[in-house]
A and B are shown apart, each in its own frame.
Chain A
Amino acid sequence: MSRLSAGKGLFLLGILVVVILAGLHFSADDAGELTPLESTIRDVLAPVQRVVMVVGDKVSDWVSFPARLYNVSRHNRDLEQQVVELEGKLSDYNEIRAENARLKEQLDFKTGLADQVTMESAEVVGRSADDWFGSILINKGSASGIQTDMAVVTPSGLVGRVTSVSKHTAEVLLITDPRSGVGCLVQESRAPGIVEGVAGGMRVVHMVHIPSDLAPEKGDRIVTSGFGSVFPKGIPVGTVQETHKEESGLFKMAVIKPFVDFNRLEEVLVIISANPGGA
Protein backbone atom coordinates (compact mmCIF):
# COMPACT_ATOMS: atom_id res chain seq x y z
CA MET A 1 0.00 0.00 0.00
CA SER A 2 2.69 2.35 0.86
CA ARG A 3 4.60 1.60 -2.31
CA LEU A 4 1.41 2.21 -4.35
CA SER A 5 0.77 5.54 -2.57
CA ALA A 6 4.34 6.66 -3.05
CA GLY A 7 4.20 5.92 -6.74
CA LYS A 8 0.92 7.87 -7.05
CA GLY A 9 2.39 10.86 -5.31
CA LEU A 10 5.41 10.86 -7.56
CA PHE A 11 3.17 10.62 -10.61
CA LEU A 12 1.06 13.62 -9.51
CA LEU A 13 4.18 15.64 -8.71
CA GLY A 14 5.53 14.86 -12.15
CA ILE A 15 2.28 16.01 -13.79
CA LEU A 16 2.35 19.23 -11.73
CA VAL A 17 5.90 19.95 -12.78
CA VAL A 18 5.08 19.33 -16.40
CA VAL A 19 2.00 21.59 -16.24
CA ILE A 20 4.02 24.40 -14.62
CA LEU A 21 6.78 24.01 -17.17
CA ALA A 22 4.23 24.09 -19.96
CA GLY A 23 2.58 27.19 -18.50
CA LEU A 24 5.96 28.80 -18.14
CA HIS A 25 6.76 27.98 -21.72
CA PHE A 26 3.53 29.45 -23.09
CA SER A 27 3.46 32.51 -20.84
CA ALA A 28 7.03 33.39 -21.81
CA ASP A 29 5.88 34.26 -25.30
CA ASP A 30 3.54 37.09 -24.20
CA ALA A 31 5.03 38.25 -20.87
CA GLY A 32 3.94 41.87 -21.43
CA GLU A 33 0.28 41.08 -21.49
CA LEU A 34 -1.74 40.42 -18.40
CA THR A 35 -4.42 37.82 -18.26
CA PRO A 36 -7.85 39.05 -17.16
CA LEU A 37 -7.34 37.35 -13.81
CA GLU A 38 -3.96 38.96 -13.23
CA SER A 39 -5.34 42.29 -14.25
CA THR A 40 -8.26 42.06 -11.84
CA ILE A 41 -6.06 40.94 -8.97
CA ARG A 42 -3.68 43.83 -9.54
CA ASP A 43 -6.48 46.36 -9.71
CA VAL A 44 -8.00 45.13 -6.49
CA LEU A 45 -4.73 44.95 -4.63
CA ALA A 46 -3.27 48.25 -5.78
CA PRO A 47 -5.19 50.53 -3.34
CA VAL A 48 -4.50 48.14 -0.50
CA GLN A 49 -0.84 48.06 -1.41
CA ARG A 50 -0.76 51.82 -1.48
CA VAL A 51 -2.31 52.12 1.97
CA VAL A 52 0.03 49.53 3.35
CA MET A 53 2.96 51.27 1.71
CA VAL A 54 2.00 54.65 3.17
CA VAL A 55 1.42 53.22 6.63
CA GLY A 56 4.62 51.26 6.38
CA ASP A 57 6.52 54.36 5.38
CA LYS A 58 5.05 56.27 8.30
CA VAL A 59 5.90 53.55 10.76
CA SER A 60 9.33 53.19 9.30
CA ASP A 61 9.78 56.94 9.55
CA TRP A 62 8.69 56.93 13.13
CA VAL A 63 10.87 54.00 14.10
CA SER A 64 13.91 55.19 12.26
CA PHE A 65 13.48 58.84 13.31
CA PRO A 66 16.07 58.82 16.13
CA ALA A 67 18.58 57.09 13.92
CA ARG A 68 17.97 59.51 11.09
CA LEU A 69 18.08 62.40 13.52
CA TYR A 70 21.46 61.20 14.64
CA ASN A 71 22.61 60.85 11.04
CA VAL A 72 21.26 64.26 10.12
CA SER A 73 22.94 65.75 13.14
CA ARG A 74 26.21 64.12 12.17
CA HIS A 75 25.76 65.23 8.58
CA ASN A 76 24.96 68.72 9.80
CA ARG A 77 28.15 68.75 11.83
CA ASP A 78 30.10 67.64 8.79
CA LEU A 79 28.49 70.35 6.70
CA GLU A 80 29.15 72.97 9.35
CA GLN A 81 32.76 71.88 9.44
CA GLN A 82 32.89 72.14 5.68
CA VAL A 83 31.34 75.60 5.80
CA VAL A 84 33.94 76.74 8.33
CA GLU A 85 36.73 75.33 6.19
CA LEU A 86 35.33 76.91 3.06
CA GLU A 87 34.83 80.23 4.79
CA GLY A 88 38.45 80.07 5.90
CA LYS A 89 39.53 79.30 2.36
CA LEU A 90 37.35 82.10 1.04
CA SER A 91 38.87 84.50 3.53
CA ASP A 92 42.37 83.36 2.51
CA TYR A 93 41.39 83.74 -1.10
CA ASN A 94 40.10 87.28 -0.57
CA GLU A 95 43.22 88.18 1.39
CA ILE A 96 45.47 86.79 -1.32
CA ARG A 97 43.45 88.56 -4.00
CA ALA A 98 43.74 91.89 -2.16
CA GLU A 99 47.44 91.33 -1.58
CA ASN A 100 47.87 90.42 -5.21
CA ALA A 101 46.19 93.66 -6.27
CA ARG A 102 48.40 95.69 -3.94
CA LEU A 103 51.58 93.95 -5.05
CA LYS A 104 50.60 94.31 -8.69
CA GLU A 105 50.11 98.02 -8.11
CA GLN A 106 53.51 98.18 -6.43
CA LEU A 107 55.08 96.23 -9.26
CA ASP A 108 53.62 98.59 -11.84
CA PHE A 109 54.88 101.49 -9.79
CA LYS A 110 58.34 99.96 -9.46
CA THR A 111 58.48 99.14 -13.14
CA GLY A 112 57.43 102.66 -14.02
CA LEU A 113 60.15 104.20 -11.91
CA ALA A 114 62.72 101.50 -12.50
CA ASP A 115 64.99 103.81 -14.45
CA GLN A 116 64.98 106.40 -11.74
CA VAL A 117 65.08 104.61 -8.40
CA THR A 118 65.97 101.33 -6.77
CA MET A 119 63.40 100.20 -4.24
CA GLU A 120 62.97 97.57 -1.58
CA SER A 121 59.48 96.55 -0.58
CA ALA A 122 58.69 95.93 3.08
CA GLU A 123 55.72 95.10 5.27
CA VAL A 124 54.45 97.26 8.11
CA VAL A 125 54.75 95.27 11.34
CA GLY A 126 54.02 97.90 13.98
CA ARG A 127 53.04 101.45 14.74
CA SER A 128 53.85 104.02 17.37
CA ALA A 129 52.25 103.13 20.68
CA ASP A 130 51.04 106.63 21.52
CA ASP A 131 48.75 109.08 19.79
CA TRP A 132 51.21 111.93 19.52
CA PHE A 133 53.77 110.62 17.09
CA GLY A 134 53.33 109.06 13.68
CA SER A 135 55.80 106.30 12.96
CA ILE A 136 55.70 102.76 11.66
CA LEU A 137 58.00 99.78 11.97
CA ILE A 138 58.84 97.81 8.81
CA ASN A 139 60.26 94.32 8.50
CA LYS A 140 63.38 95.18 6.50
CA GLY A 141 66.55 96.68 7.91
CA SER A 142 70.24 97.08 7.30
CA ALA A 143 70.47 93.48 6.11
CA SER A 144 68.32 94.54 3.13
CA GLY A 145 70.40 97.63 2.45
CA ILE A 146 68.11 100.07 4.23
CA GLN A 147 69.73 103.07 5.91
CA THR A 148 68.51 106.10 7.81
CA ASP A 149 67.11 109.02 5.84
CA MET A 150 65.92 106.87 2.96
CA ALA A 151 62.56 107.94 1.54
CA VAL A 152 59.58 105.62 1.93
CA VAL A 153 56.70 105.65 -0.53
CA THR A 154 53.69 103.69 -1.72
CA PRO A 155 52.21 103.72 -5.22
CA SER A 156 49.85 106.41 -3.90
CA GLY A 157 52.52 108.80 -2.72
CA LEU A 158 55.02 109.79 -0.06
CA VAL A 159 54.96 107.99 3.30
CA GLY A 160 57.98 109.34 5.17
CA ARG A 161 61.64 108.63 5.82
CA VAL A 162 63.65 106.04 7.69
CA THR A 163 64.83 107.33 11.05
CA SER A 164 66.42 104.30 12.67
CA VAL A 165 67.50 100.90 11.45
CA SER A 166 68.25 97.55 13.03
CA LYS A 167 69.41 94.49 11.15
CA HIS A 168 65.92 93.34 10.22
CA THR A 169 63.65 96.30 11.01
CA ALA A 170 63.48 100.00 10.37
CA GLU A 171 61.44 102.80 11.89
CA VAL A 172 59.80 105.16 9.45
CA LEU A 173 58.81 108.68 10.47
CA LEU A 174 55.53 109.45 8.71
CA ILE A 175 55.01 112.83 7.10
CA THR A 176 52.07 113.28 9.51
CA ASP A 177 54.44 113.29 12.51
CA PRO A 178 54.97 116.78 14.00
CA ARG A 179 58.75 116.20 13.77
CA SER A 180 58.60 115.72 10.01
CA GLY A 181 59.38 118.38 7.43
CA VAL A 182 59.52 117.80 3.67
CA GLY A 183 60.50 120.29 0.99
CA CYS A 184 57.66 120.41 -1.53
CA LEU A 185 56.28 122.25 -4.52
CA VAL A 186 52.81 123.07 -5.72
CA GLN A 187 52.82 121.14 -8.99
CA GLU A 188 50.82 123.71 -10.94
CA SER A 189 52.41 126.99 -9.81
CA ARG A 190 55.79 125.56 -8.71
CA ALA A 191 55.42 127.51 -5.44
CA PRO A 192 57.81 126.09 -2.82
CA GLY A 193 56.96 125.30 0.78
CA ILE A 194 57.56 122.85 3.59
CA VAL A 195 55.09 120.10 4.40
CA GLU A 196 54.91 119.56 8.15
CA GLY A 197 53.06 116.94 10.12
CA VAL A 198 50.26 117.66 12.54
CA ALA A 199 50.09 115.60 15.71
CA GLY A 200 47.37 113.18 16.53
CA GLY A 201 44.70 111.58 14.49
CA MET A 202 44.31 114.43 12.02
CA ARG A 203 44.49 113.03 8.55
CA VAL A 204 46.03 116.16 7.10
CA VAL A 205 49.44 117.83 6.93
CA HIS A 206 50.29 121.50 6.63
CA MET A 207 52.36 123.13 3.92
CA VAL A 208 53.92 126.28 5.33
CA HIS A 209 56.07 129.17 4.11
CA ILE A 210 54.38 129.42 0.71
CA PRO A 211 55.05 132.78 -0.96
CA SER A 212 51.87 134.88 -0.75
CA ASP A 213 51.84 135.66 -4.46
CA LEU A 214 51.94 131.96 -5.34
CA ALA A 215 49.24 130.76 -2.99
CA PRO A 216 47.84 127.41 -4.16
CA GLU A 217 44.18 126.78 -4.83
CA LYS A 218 41.95 124.01 -3.62
CA GLY A 219 42.67 120.80 -5.49
CA ASP A 220 46.25 121.69 -6.47
CA ARG A 221 48.67 118.78 -6.23
CA ILE A 222 51.69 118.91 -3.97
CA VAL A 223 54.87 116.99 -4.88
CA THR A 224 58.30 116.74 -3.33
CA SER A 225 60.73 119.40 -4.52
CA GLY A 226 63.89 117.31 -4.37
CA PHE A 227 65.66 120.00 -2.33
CA GLY A 228 67.94 118.36 0.16
CA SER A 229 69.11 114.81 -0.19
CA VAL A 230 66.35 112.74 1.41
CA PHE A 231 63.34 112.81 -0.89
CA PRO A 232 63.66 112.47 -4.68
CA LYS A 233 61.89 115.10 -6.74
CA GLY A 234 58.35 114.61 -7.95
CA ILE A 235 56.91 112.15 -5.43
CA PRO A 236 53.20 112.99 -4.98
CA VAL A 237 52.29 114.10 -1.47
CA GLY A 238 48.66 115.24 -1.50
CA THR A 239 46.12 117.80 -2.63
CA VAL A 240 45.35 121.23 -1.23
CA GLN A 241 42.16 121.43 0.81
CA GLU A 242 42.29 125.04 1.96
CA THR A 243 44.74 127.91 2.35
CA HIS A 244 45.30 130.47 5.11
CA LYS A 245 47.57 133.37 5.80
CA GLU A 246 50.35 132.54 8.26
CA GLU A 247 50.48 134.40 11.58
CA SER A 248 53.48 136.41 10.42
CA GLY A 249 51.43 137.61 7.45
CA LEU A 250 54.37 137.13 5.09
CA PHE A 251 53.53 133.68 3.85
CA LYS A 252 50.58 131.45 3.14
CA MET A 253 49.96 128.01 4.51
CA ALA A 254 47.85 125.22 3.06
CA VAL A 255 46.06 122.27 4.57
CA ILE A 256 47.01 119.19 2.55
CA LYS A 257 45.14 115.90 2.34
CA PRO A 258 47.79 113.22 1.75
CA PHE A 259 47.35 110.71 -1.04
CA VAL A 260 48.44 107.92 1.28
CA ASP A 261 45.92 106.48 3.74
CA PHE A 262 48.19 106.18 6.76
CA ASN A 263 45.68 104.14 8.72
CA ARG A 264 45.77 101.35 6.15
CA LEU A 265 49.44 101.02 5.41
CA GLU A 266 50.40 97.40 4.92
CA GLU A 267 53.26 97.41 2.44
CA VAL A 268 55.66 100.22 1.59
CA LEU A 269 58.59 100.77 -0.74
CA VAL A 270 61.90 102.10 0.55
CA ILE A 271 63.89 104.05 -2.03
CA ILE A 272 67.36 102.58 -1.72
CA SER A 273 68.93 104.84 -4.33
CA ALA A 274 67.73 107.51 -6.73
CA ASN A 275 69.20 108.04 -10.18
CA PRO A 276 67.37 111.03 -11.66
CA GLY A 277 69.14 110.69 -14.99
CA GLY A 278 68.08 107.10 -15.48
CA ALA A 279 70.02 103.91 -15.07
Chain B
Amino acid sequence: MQPIIFLLLVPVLLILQSTALNHIVLYGIKPDFLLILVILNGFLRGTREGAFLGFLAGVIQDMAYGGYFGLNALTKMAAGYLAGLGEGRLYRDNRVIAAGLTWVCTLGAQLLFYLLLLLVDIQVPMVTALVHIILPAAFYNALVVLIIYGFYCRFCSNSPARKGEYFNP
Protein backbone atom coordinates (compact mmCIF):
# COMPACT_ATOMS: atom_id res chain seq x y z
CA MET B 1 0.00 0.00 0.00
CA GLN B 2 1.34 3.38 -0.95
CA PRO B 3 2.01 5.71 1.98
CA ILE B 4 -0.31 8.30 0.43
CA ILE B 5 -3.16 5.79 0.37
CA PHE B 6 -2.32 4.81 3.93
CA LEU B 7 -2.46 8.44 5.02
CA LEU B 8 -5.72 9.01 3.16
CA LEU B 9 -7.22 5.99 4.89
CA VAL B 10 -6.34 7.35 8.33
CA PRO B 11 -8.97 10.13 8.52
CA VAL B 12 -11.56 7.82 6.95
CA LEU B 13 -10.94 5.18 9.61
CA LEU B 14 -10.90 7.81 12.35
CA ILE B 15 -14.34 9.01 11.31
CA LEU B 16 -15.61 5.43 11.18
CA GLN B 17 -14.02 4.79 14.55
CA SER B 18 -15.95 7.57 16.25
CA THR B 19 -19.26 7.00 14.51
CA ALA B 20 -20.26 3.80 12.73
CA LEU B 21 -18.10 1.43 14.74
CA ASN B 22 -20.08 2.28 17.85
CA HIS B 23 -22.71 -0.08 16.46
CA ILE B 24 -20.38 -3.05 16.83
CA VAL B 25 -19.33 -2.37 20.39
CA LEU B 26 -19.04 -5.55 22.46
CA TYR B 27 -18.95 -5.10 26.22
CA GLY B 28 -17.91 -1.50 25.70
CA ILE B 29 -15.01 -2.42 23.39
CA LYS B 30 -14.82 -1.68 19.69
CA PRO B 31 -12.16 -2.76 17.23
CA ASP B 32 -9.44 -0.19 16.55
CA PHE B 33 -9.31 -0.16 12.76
CA LEU B 34 -6.56 2.43 12.67
CA LEU B 35 -4.35 0.30 14.89
CA ILE B 36 -5.15 -2.70 12.72
CA LEU B 37 -4.11 -0.77 9.61
CA VAL B 38 -0.85 0.23 11.29
CA ILE B 39 -0.13 -3.34 12.36
CA LEU B 40 -0.89 -4.89 8.99
CA ASN B 41 1.10 -2.21 7.21
CA GLY B 42 4.05 -2.88 9.51
CA PHE B 43 3.71 -6.62 8.98
CA LEU B 44 3.86 -6.26 5.21
CA ARG B 45 6.37 -3.39 5.00
CA GLY B 46 8.81 -3.93 7.87
CA THR B 47 9.87 -2.11 11.02
CA ARG B 48 11.00 1.24 9.63
CA GLU B 49 8.00 1.90 7.47
CA GLY B 50 5.66 0.36 10.01
CA ALA B 51 6.93 2.58 12.80
CA PHE B 52 7.06 5.72 10.66
CA LEU B 53 3.57 5.40 9.22
CA GLY B 54 2.25 4.29 12.60
CA PHE B 55 3.70 7.45 14.09
CA LEU B 56 2.09 9.61 11.38
CA ALA B 57 -1.27 7.90 11.86
CA GLY B 58 -1.04 8.46 15.62
CA VAL B 59 -0.12 12.12 15.19
CA ILE B 60 -3.14 12.64 12.95
CA GLN B 61 -5.34 10.94 15.55
CA ASP B 62 -3.90 13.06 18.35
CA MET B 63 -4.43 16.22 16.34
CA ALA B 64 -7.96 15.23 15.41
CA TYR B 65 -9.12 14.45 18.93
CA GLY B 66 -7.05 16.84 21.02
CA GLY B 67 -6.27 15.86 24.58
CA TYR B 68 -2.91 14.29 25.25
CA PHE B 69 -0.74 14.91 22.22
CA GLY B 70 1.64 12.03 21.54
CA LEU B 71 -0.30 9.31 23.31
CA ASN B 72 -1.52 7.71 20.11
CA ALA B 73 1.56 8.70 18.11
CA LEU B 74 3.82 6.74 20.43
CA THR B 75 1.59 3.71 20.85
CA LYS B 76 0.89 3.37 17.15
CA MET B 77 4.53 3.83 16.32
CA ALA B 78 5.35 1.04 18.75
CA ALA B 79 2.65 -1.15 17.24
CA GLY B 80 3.95 -0.53 13.72
CA TYR B 81 7.50 -1.33 14.77
CA LEU B 82 6.45 -4.46 16.65
CA ALA B 83 4.45 -5.69 13.67
CA GLY B 84 7.38 -4.92 11.40
CA LEU B 85 9.49 -7.40 13.34
CA GLY B 86 7.28 -10.10 11.90
CA GLU B 87 8.07 -9.09 8.33
CA GLY B 88 10.39 -11.64 6.78
CA ARG B 89 10.17 -13.86 9.84
CA LEU B 90 6.52 -14.87 9.77
CA TYR B 91 4.56 -16.41 6.92
CA ARG B 92 2.51 -13.49 5.64
CA ASP B 93 -0.02 -15.43 3.56
CA ASN B 94 -1.62 -17.05 6.60
CA ARG B 95 -4.45 -15.07 8.14
CA VAL B 96 -4.17 -16.90 11.45
CA ILE B 97 -0.57 -15.76 11.79
CA ALA B 98 -1.63 -12.21 10.92
CA ALA B 99 -4.39 -12.39 13.53
CA GLY B 100 -1.94 -13.71 16.13
CA LEU B 101 0.50 -10.94 15.35
CA THR B 102 -2.35 -8.41 15.65
CA TRP B 103 -3.21 -9.85 19.05
CA VAL B 104 0.38 -9.48 20.27
CA CYS B 105 0.85 -6.00 18.79
CA THR B 106 -2.46 -4.73 20.18
CA LEU B 107 -1.51 -6.10 23.57
CA GLY B 108 1.86 -4.32 23.39
CA ALA B 109 0.36 -1.06 22.17
CA GLN B 110 -2.36 -1.08 24.81
CA LEU B 111 0.12 -1.85 27.60
CA LEU B 112 2.23 1.08 26.44
CA PHE B 113 -0.93 3.22 26.38
CA TYR B 114 -1.59 2.19 29.97
CA LEU B 115 1.93 3.19 31.04
CA LEU B 116 1.64 6.52 29.25
CA LEU B 117 -1.65 7.15 31.05
CA LEU B 118 0.19 6.75 34.33
CA LEU B 119 2.65 9.40 33.11
CA VAL B 120 -0.21 11.88 32.64
CA ASP B 121 -1.59 10.92 36.04
CA ILE B 122 -4.59 8.91 34.89
CA GLN B 123 -4.87 6.00 37.25
CA VAL B 124 -6.66 2.90 36.02
CA PRO B 125 -6.45 -0.25 38.13
CA MET B 126 -4.20 -2.75 36.35
CA VAL B 127 -6.67 -5.62 36.62
CA THR B 128 -9.50 -3.44 35.29
CA ALA B 129 -7.33 -2.28 32.42
CA LEU B 130 -6.25 -5.80 31.52
CA VAL B 131 -9.57 -7.57 31.92
CA HIS B 132 -11.90 -4.90 30.60
CA ILE B 133 -9.85 -3.12 27.95
CA ILE B 134 -6.50 -4.55 26.88
CA LEU B 135 -7.31 -8.24 26.46
CA PRO B 136 -10.80 -7.78 24.94
CA ALA B 137 -9.42 -5.18 22.52
CA ALA B 138 -6.60 -7.53 21.51
CA PHE B 139 -9.04 -10.37 20.86
CA TYR B 140 -11.48 -8.14 19.00
CA ASN B 141 -8.75 -6.71 16.75
CA ALA B 142 -7.41 -10.21 16.06
CA LEU B 143 -10.89 -11.39 15.15
CA VAL B 144 -11.32 -8.50 12.74
CA VAL B 145 -7.99 -9.31 11.09
CA LEU B 146 -9.01 -12.92 10.77
CA ILE B 147 -12.00 -11.73 8.74
CA ILE B 148 -10.52 -8.92 6.66
CA TYR B 149 -6.93 -10.07 6.10
CA GLY B 150 -7.71 -11.63 2.72
CA PHE B 151 -9.30 -8.41 1.45
CA TYR B 152 -6.43 -6.38 2.81
CA CYS B 153 -3.82 -8.55 1.07
CA ARG B 154 -5.72 -8.38 -2.21
CA PHE B 155 -6.02 -4.62 -1.87
CA CYS B 156 -2.30 -4.31 -1.21
CA SER B 157 -1.30 -6.70 -3.99
CA ASN B 158 -3.24 -4.52 -6.45
CA SER B 159 -1.35 -1.52 -5.23
CA PRO B 160 2.01 -0.77 -6.86
CA ALA B 161 3.48 -0.28 -3.40
CA ARG B 162 4.82 -3.81 -3.29
CA LYS B 163 7.04 -3.13 -6.24
CA GLY B 164 9.54 -1.08 -4.33
CA GLU B 165 10.53 0.91 -1.31
CA TYR B 166 8.88 4.32 -1.12
CA PHE B 167 11.03 6.10 1.34
CA ASN B 168 14.06 5.52 3.45
CA PRO B 169 13.83 7.55 6.62
Partners in one complex: yes
**Chain A residues with a Cβ under 8 A of chain B:** 125-133, 137, 164, 171, 178-179, 198-203, 263
Q: Which of B22, B26, B123, B133 contacts A132 (CB 8 A)?
A: B133
Q: Are B34 and A129 interface neighbours, CB within 8 A?
A: yes
Contact A200 B29 (CB under 8 A): yes
Assess whether B19 is in contact with A178, with CB atoms less than 8 Å apart: no
- Contact pick for A201, options B17, B18, B133, CB 8 Å: B133
CA distance A127 to B23 in the complex (A): 11
Judge whether A126 and B18 touch: CB under 8 Å. Answer: yes
List of B residues within 8 angstroms of A179 by Cβ? 122
Give A225 Cβ to nearest chain B Cβ, in Å: 23
Q: Is the CB of B124 within 8 A of A263?
A: no
Q: Is the CB of A131 within 8 A of B18?
A: no
Nearest CB on B from A194, distance (A): 14
Contact code string B28-59 (vs A, CB < 8 Å = 1, else 0): 11101010000000000000000000000000
Contacts of B124 in A (CB 8 A): 132, 178, 198-200
Are B128 and A263 in touch, CB under 8 angstroms? no
Partner of A202, one of B14, B28, B65: B28
Q: Which residues of A contact B66 (CB under 8 A)?
A: 164, 171
Chain A residues within 8 Å of B123, by CB: 178
Provide the residues of chain B in CB contact with A129, threshold 8 Å: 14, 17-18, 32, 34, 61, 65
Q: How many angstroms between the C-alpha atoms of A178 and B133 in the bound complex?
A: 13
Q: How far is the CA of A179 from the CA of B137 in the complex (A)?
A: 21
Q: How far is the CB of A93 from chain B (nearest CB, A)?
A: 21
Which of the residues A125, A178, A201 comes within 8 Å of B29, measured between beta carbons? Answer: A201
